[in-house]
Amino acid sequence: MTSDQRNTNTAGGDEPETGITEGGTDGAFRDVLSRDHARRGKPPVHFADMTPEERIAAAKELGLPKFRVSQLANHYYGHFDVNAEEFTDFPAAKREAAARMFFPELIHEVTRQVADEGTTIKTLWRLFDGSLIESVLMRYPTRTTLCISSQVGCGMGCPFCATGKLGLTRNMSAGEIVEQVRIAAKMMRDGEVAGGPGRLSNVVFMGMGEPMGNYRSVLSAVRQISAAPPEGFGISARNITVSTVGVVPGIKKLAAEGIPVRLAVSLHAPSDQLRDELVPMNRRFDTTAVLDAAHDYFLASKRRVSIEYALMRGINDQAEHARLLAKRLNHYGDNWAHVNPIPLNPIEGSKWTASKPEDEQRFLDILHAAGITATLRDTRGQDIDGACGQLAARGKDLVAKDLAPQKDVAA
């Protein structure tokens, strides 16, 4: 069996999976659909990319019986361990071959930046093809959250977002996504994060990329993160958040999976007129379509949906915007959504900046008065560009050629 044949539950196929059909009118989505992405090689196939049957077949190739796969799963998901050379419960003569077959290095640490007294750690990773991505680990008194990337760059073109400025290079494989989680879980267990040994409790898909543009790999990752060991890391699906720009078919598909993950929808504007400008994807799936889908997700999952709202000074942070947002959410009933306003993290060269504190407060007050729960999201890691929308894998001093072209896809 070739590695290509095994590569069925990663991005897979000749076409890049986007979850989005052709039909963008202004070029902002052409990037997402470009066939160039498919021509780039695929990441090595990893244990986390294989179905149970594929794992058994690969083991057989090495002359190993089925039960050895269960041992590997126990090492990987139960102990966050890929160092097969040291698996003492494994036949010594097969360890090296097993390491090569199942655990190729998919993400290589390039740099680690630390902030907030060692409780926020942003890691820059290099992938097999030189692509750079980032993840951010944030430890709080009662939980530890890892923010992970699902694509190299992003093709959705939101003009206020650093990742959006990069354009899309490619989808990440399930293995590349899951490895971010395994390594963070191991760091927590081994006490590498200030505060001593602990447990990774939450995962949010709020790093680089649009999860719904890489649906299959993201879903595979969600299952592996949430399944109990030895099938997965055992991080409750309720503690996993998938954040989307509002790709309606993706939201519907996710609702039908019946997994209790939390959905976050990046709304950022209460009207189509304004959202068309801030979120180009709104021209494909408008505010009504997105809110309908978000509310359906709430009905299907019984989990409150998070509405993400980056407050931009003078743009979307005025009283009229808060009132319209409240009206549009209350249209569907009470208590189904939770609004997460976040002061914009200004990115280089952007004309937008963060709201004034008094405007932020007024925005919250108006939502609260309308019976809507809303909490200002904290902006951890701002000083290391680890905050939302600031992930742009700035590795220019390292390998400039590996960076995605710096084009403004929203222009």
Q: Residues in the site for ligand SF4, rule: CB under 6 A?
A: 154, 156-158, 161, 163-164, 209-210, 245, 266, 389
Q: Which of 152, 203, 237, 245 binds ligand SAH (CB under 6 A)?
A: 245
Residue nearest to ligand SAH (CB): 389
Which is nearer to ligand SAH, 64 or 264 (by Cβ)? 264
Which is nearer to ligand SAH, 206 or 393 (by Cβ)? 206
Catalytic annotation present for 134: yes
117 labeled binding residue: no
Q: Which residue is catalytic, options 54, 176, 360, 388?
A: 388
Catalytic annotation present for 86: no
Interacting span for ligand SAH (CB under 6 A) from 36-44, 250-258, 327-335, 341-349: 341-349
Which is nearer to ligand SAH, 102 or 309 (by Cβ)? 309
Least gap, CB of 92 to ligand SF4 (angstroms): 46
Which is nearer to ligand SF4, 28 or 101 (by Cβ)? 28
Label each residue of the chain as H, E or C. Answer: CCHHHHCCCCCCCCCCCCCCCCCCCCCCCHHHHCCHHHHCCCCCCCHHHCCHHHHHHHHHHCCCCCHHHHHHHHHHHHHCCCCHHHCCCCCHHHHHHHHHHHCCCCEEEEEEEEEHHHCEEEEEEEECCCCEEEEEEEECCCCEEEECCCEEECCCCCCCCHHHHHCEEEECCHHHHHHHHHHHHHHHHCCCCCCCCCCCCEEEECCCCCHHHHHHHHHHHHHHHHCCCCCCCCCCHHHEEEEECCCHHHHHHHHHHCCCCEEEEECCCCCHHHHHHHCHHHHCCCHHHHHHHHHHHHHHHCCCEEEEEEEECCCCCCHHHHHHHHHHHHCCCCCCEEEEEEECCCCCCCCCCECCHHHHHHHHHHHHHCCCEECCCCCCCHHHCCCCCCCCCCCCCCCHHHCCCCCCCCC
124 labeled binding residue: no
Instruction: Please report, in range form, the residues annotated as the binding site.
Output: 154, 158, 161, 209-210, 243, 266-268, 345
Which residues here bind ligand SAH, judged by CB under 6 A?
A: 154, 160-161, 206, 210, 243-245, 266, 308, 310, 342, 344-345, 347, 388-389
Instruction: Please report, in range form, the residues annotated as the binding site for S-adenosyl-L-methionine.
Output: 209-210, 243, 266-268, 345
